[in-house]
Amino acid sequence: MDQEYDGGCLCGAVQYHLKGPFIRFFFCHCSRCRRASGTAHAANVFTRASNVEFKSGADKIKTFKLPEAKDFARAFCTECGSPVPYTSGDGKVSVVPVGSIKNFSARKVDAQKFWADRADWYESGLAAPRQDGER
């Protein structure tokens, strides 16, 4: 049986249910993903669009399609700005930001895309001292 997951945004307005299987799990280091995420790389799983079902907050989602790109978009909660799943240009595949999935189980990352474009501070970050924080 395929696993099932729940996901949502930081403020809780957007909630969704997600079913496996996943097609791919990619980190993407391209400059668009870095800019759009505000961090070193995007981390997305790709699945059939029919595997994502929004439970609440669909009306709070804004989708931005990058005009000059063939197929680059991001969707986010208009209350808190968190990235949420969106359907790709052909409508068949859903792109799900992994950090928005609440109970994502360990699954191997298939590839680090656009590795040559990675931020020049990415690897020094991996090697930096590790500290646990308090919330």
Contact residues toward Zn ion (CB under 5 A) are 9, 11, 13, 28, 30, 33, 77, 79-80
- Give residue 80's identity as a one-letter amino acid code: C
CB-nearer residue toward Zn ion: 13 or 52: 13
CB-nearer residue toward Zn ion: 3 or 66: 66
At closest approach, how far in Å is the CB of 81 from Zn ion?
A: 7
At closest approach, how far in Å is the CB of 2 from Zn ion?
A: 26
Distance CA 41, CA 113 (A): 9
Burial (CB count within 10 angstroms: exposed 0-12, middle 13-18, buried 19+), residue 108:
exposed
For tokens 């969707």, name the residue. Answer: 75
CB-nearer residue toward Zn ion: 3 or 121: 121
At closest approach, how far in Å is the CB of 29 from Zn ion?
A: 7
Helix, strand, coil percentages in the chain from 3-state DSSP, rounded to 5:
20, 35, 45
